[in-house]
Amino acid sequence: MRAALLTRYRAPLDITDLPDPDCPEDGVVLKVLACGVCRSDWHSWTGSDPDVVLPQIPGHEYCGVVEEVGARTSRWRRGDRVIAPFILACGQCPACASGNQTTCPTQVIPGFTHPGAFAERIAVPRADVNLSVLPETMEPALAAALGCRVTTAWHGLTGRAGLRAGEWCAIFGTGGVGLSAMLLARALGARTVVVDVVPEKLAHAKAHGADAIVNAAETDPAAAIREITGGGADVAVEALGIAETTVNALKSLRKLGRMVQIGMPAGKHTQMTLPMDAVYSGQLAIFGTRGMPSWRYPSLLSLIAGGHVDLTPLIARRVALSDASAELAAFDRPAPPGVAVITDFGR
């Protein structure tokens, strides 16, 4: 099969021919229909993700058609169209039994701990407990974005911070996950204020329904948000993993506000100095979040199928496998609005 292989940090991926993957007994082999290019892939590409050992095939936001079914897999048949969460939980341990699959201690993460979906085919273990049916009406490029950014934003807002209708939600960073959070918060009936430093991305967010935008390159975003919201946001989403935005997210909250750390702090941002006086005096809550348990897919798919949220503004570019390197390198700079999805795996 054709695949893009990460062999050296910060170098173009090797577009190469590899043997087709073996089908795991408890899994399936998918023909990949689409795979998103995500900031988390960029973390691998720069060498700042300790889970990734080279060489590795990146790609964790995928959907596909079942081509092969393992002997111990019962839910799936050849030809089924499926989507996968990026965390493949075991389905057996106490964490999984309590519904918290994102904390499964033996989780498998394609693209990081196992070969990913920057390839024509991917082996997906633990298929019965993790995969969901890709609705007929959903196009693969959009479904690919669900596997990571949209699910992560959905679980951060609803499963962690408990965002409610009428509340103000401030979103720091309008990459894939930030834009998803804005669209979903809006669908939940919350009001949204979006912060970025790229005017084009702010205009894009505004055009797709953000109630207010703040350019952090021009003004103190926390003060601006307190002003816009009449005292501070109820929920702040940090979608970059950067110390400065985490600090501003906390400072933008009203009393009893909740901050969700969705961005992955990597490199020099793994350690941050935070305004704990604001946490104390504001009686704030800080939630870490990562991924979404697969049992929560139906709630999200139902919201989308019901026409309550249009996620198409997320997809900016449909690209070929050979473009993946350029898309990864683009995360070095403030990127244009929307995300890139690989939809062409051929020659």
Per the CB < 8 A criterion, the answer to whether 290 and 152 are in contact is yes
Residue closer to Zn ion by CB (options 235, 314) is 314
Backbone angles phi, psi at 196, to 5 degrees: -155, 180
Token pair of 282 as six digits: 């504001």
CB 330 to Zn ion: min, Å: 15
Residue closer to Zn ion by CB (options 37, 225) is 37
Residue closer to Zn ion by CB (options 89, 213) is 89
Measure the CA–CA gap between 104 and 113, rounded to whole angstroms.
Answer: 14
Beta pairing partners, 339: 315
Measure the CA–CA gap between 303 and 184, rounded to whole angstroms.
Answer: 9
CB 223 to Zn ion: min, Å: 32
Residue closer to Zn ion by CB (options 101, 158) is 101
| Contacting range for Zn ion; rule: CB under 5 A; set: 62-70, 145-153, 184-192, 302-310 | 145-153
Residues 31-70, one symbol each (x = binds Zn ion by CB under 5 A, - = not), give: -------x-x--------------------x---------
Residues 42-62 as b/e (b if ≥16 CB within 10 A, e otherwise) read: bbbbbebbeebeeebbbbbbb
Token pair of 111 as six digits: 């693209």
Q: Does 93 bind Zn ion (CB under 5 A)?
A: yes
Residue (of 201, 152, 159, 196) closest to 38 by Cα position: 152
Residues 165-194, one symbol each (x = binds Zn ion by CB under 5 A, - = not), give: ------------------------------
Q: Does 103 bind Zn ion (CB under 5 A)?
A: no
Q: Does 148 bind Zn ion (CB under 5 A)?
A: yes
Distances (CA, A) of 124 to 119, 221, 343: 13, 42, 19
Q: Which of 90, 138, 315, 341 binds Zn ion (CB under 5 A)?
A: 90
Residue closer to Zn ion by CB (options 40, 343) is 40
Measure the CA–CA gap between 66 and 310, rounded to whole angstroms.
Answer: 27
Residue closer to Zn ion by CB (options 38, 335) is 38
Residue closer to Zn ion by CB (options 130, 245) is 130
CB 104 to Zn ion: min, Å: 3
| Contacting range for Zn ion; rule: CB under 5 A; set: 62-70, 102-110, 194-202, 278-286 | 102-110
Per the CB < 8 A criterion, the answer to whether 48 and 105 are in contact is no
Per the CB < 8 A criterion, the answer to whether 230 and 208 are in contact is no
CB 91 to Zn ion: min, Å: 6
Distances (CA, A) of 28 to 61, 71, 147, 256, 346: 16, 9, 17, 45, 21
Residue closer to Zn ion by CB (options 1, 93) is 93
Q: Which of 37, 83, 89, 185 binds Zn ion (CB under 5 A)?
A: 89
Name the 3-class secondary structure at 95.
helix
Q: Does 145 bind Zn ion (CB under 5 A)?
A: no
Q: Count CA atoms closer than 13 A to 189's CA, side-chain side.
A: 5
CB 44 to Zn ion: min, Å: 11
Binding site for Zn ion (CB under 5 A): 38, 40, 61, 89-90, 93, 96, 104, 148
